[in-house]
Amino acid sequence: MRAYRTALEQQPDNFDANLQLGTLYRLDQKFELAMTYLKRAQAVRPDDLALRHAMAATLLSLGDADKARELLEGVVHEAPSFVDGHVLLATTYYRLKRKEDGDRERALIEKLTAENQAKQPGAKKAQEVDGAAPAAGASPPPSPQD
């Protein structure tokens, strides 16, 4: 935090320092202070996805689920594979008593998570070891007689 404050003393409109301080204050549950820094970052880059996600998380913590929802719907529209955005949106929908929307987001999160895990190095080998069918185009394992 000290480094970010020092950066802001030298350059008050430093986007990254404002965003990071806002995020750190949110994690410390100092939500009003977090919003101060996030709004400063917003003045520099209002369309930044990470900023809008951080603002939505802070707004949700402050009890403004409707504003959080608006931001998050825009975030996941622009970045449909951003799992953390969908997680926070699902949470927001549940807080707003919109169970059907929350459940839809939850299903999407599970799908995205499975896709991301399948892309990890060694995922195909792990599937083969676990007894799953080999990937298309893969040669069958050698028979014991070979």
For 59-108, what is each residue's pLDDT tens digit?
999 999 999 999 999 999 999 999 999 999 999 999 999 999 999 999 99
Neighbours of 90 (CB within 10 A): 22
Question: Over 70: is that where the pLDDT of 142 sits?
Answer: no
The structure's pTM equals 0.79
Question: Over 60: is that where the pLDDT of 18 sits?
Answer: yes
Contacts of 111 (CB under 8 A, 6+ apart): none
Pick the CATH number of 48-111 from 3.10.450.50, 1.25.40.10, 3.40.190.10, 2.102.10.10: 1.25.40.10
Q: Which amino acid is at 73?
A: E
The structure tokens 């970010």 sit at: 4
Rounded Cα–Cα distance for residues 53 and 5 (Å) = 22
Burial label for 39, CB within 10 Å (0-12, 13-18, 19+), is middle
Q: CATH 1.25.40.10 spans which residues of the chain?
A: 48-111
Percentage of the chain exceeding pLDDT 90: 79
Rounded Cα–Cα distance for residues 2 and 20 (Å) = 11
Distance of CA 57 to CAs 23, 34, 47, 68, 95, Å? Answer: 9, 10, 16, 7, 13
Rounded Cα–Cα distance for residues 84 and 48 (Å) = 15
Q: What is the pLDDT, as a whole number, of residue 80?
A: 97
Q: What is the pLDDT, as a whole number, of residue 60?
A: 97
Q: What is the pLDDT, as a whole number, of residue 73?
A: 98
Which candidate, 65, 114, 113, places its Cα nearest to that of 88? 65
Q: What is the pLDDT, as a whole number, of residue 29?
A: 97
Q: What is the pLDDT, as a whole number, of residue 121?
A: 86
Q: What is the pLDDT of residues 120-140, one digit of tens each?
A: 887 666 555 555 544 444 434
Q: What is the pLDDT, as a whole number, of residue 136?
A: 42
Average pLDDT in the chain = 88
